[in-house]
Structure 1
Amino acid sequence: MSELIDDMLKLSRITRTEIDKADINLSNIALTVVDELRKAHPDRPVKVTIPDSLTDYADSRLIKIVLENLLGNAWKFTGKKTDAEIEFGSTQQNGKKVYFVRDNGAGFDMEYVDKIFAPFQRLHNIEEFPGTGIGLATVRRIISRHGGTVWAESVPHQGATFYFTLGYPPPA
C-alpha cells in the first residue's frame, strides 16, 4: 500500500515540477538505470543493448524517471525468460527522432493498448508481475510535458516495444 501511495505522490509531483531542459545523454541515463537493475537482481542474466551517445534536449531528472519505468517494466516482464533481451535505442519516423525500449517478454494484447497509459491499469496478474499500475501513466505525463508522445506495440508472449518522442527543439 505504501508503494502505491509513493507512486501516486510522484505522479502528482510530476505535474507540478518545473522542467529544466538541457542537452542530455540518454544513453548514459539508460546505462545508470540498467546498472541499478543489475545490482538489485545480480543473479538475473539479461542481454541489454544500449547504443552510445543518444542525445537530446530534455529534463534529465524526468527522463531518468521515464527510463526507470520503461526499462524497469522490460526487466520485470522478461523475468520468466531464460534468454531475456532488452534494447533501448532510437529511430527516425517522419523526420523525427523516436526513442524505444523493446523486450522479448510477456507482451500484451493490442486490444488493451489504450488502457495501459491510464493510472491503475494493469494487464497482467499482480501476483505474476507486481506493481502499482502508475508507471506508464507517469511516463505519459512526463513525455507529454516535454511536448512529445508515447505509444506501444506488442504481441502476447513475444514482447513489447514502447516508443516516445521529445517535442522540444534545442534553443537556437
Structure 2
Amino acid sequence: MSSILNMIVSRLITAKMSAGSRASIVISADNGAIVLPIVPADLPEVSNPQNNETFESVLGTMSVMGTLGLRKVSLKGLLPVDVSKYPYANPLGSTAAEVINFINQCRAKNNAARIVIAYSDGSVYLNMACLINSFEYYIDNVKDYHYCMELLEYRSVSPLGGLVS
C-alpha cells in the first residue's frame, strides 16, 4: 500500500499543475489508490478530540485528562464524469467511476485506507490511516456525481502490543 501511495504523491508533487502550491487528495488501500479529481476550495476540517472526563466530587467538579480520541475527516465534493469540463480539475485525478468503485471495494472488503492531503510544494496537511465510515453519492442533471464521505482514523494493534498508524 505505501509504495503505491509514494508513487502517486511523488507524481503529484513533481507535476506542475499551476503556479503556487495546490493541494491534492489521495486515498490508498490494498486494492489500489485514487486521486480526487477536484479538491474542495476549503480543505476538510480535521476533528481531533481528547477523551477527557469530568466528575463530581466533594471538592466540586473535577476533570481528568484522557487519551487522544480518533481523528475524523468529512469530505464533500464533485466527481465529474468529464474532467475536461472543469479547468481547475486535477489532470491526474481519477474518474468518477474509479473513485466510486474504489471506495465501494474498500468497504466491501473491510480494507483500511490511508488519506493523504499534500501540496504540490511537498508539504503535507494530513496523512492518516482511516476507515471509510460512510459514503454517499448522487448524480446530477448533467451526469456529474456529488459525494459525501466520512473517514475515521484507524489504529491497529501490533502483535507486540503497540499501536500502529
The alignment's TM-score, normalised by the length of structure 1, stands at: 0.36
From the two aligned structures, give the one with the greater helix fraction: 1
Which structure is higher in strand share? 2
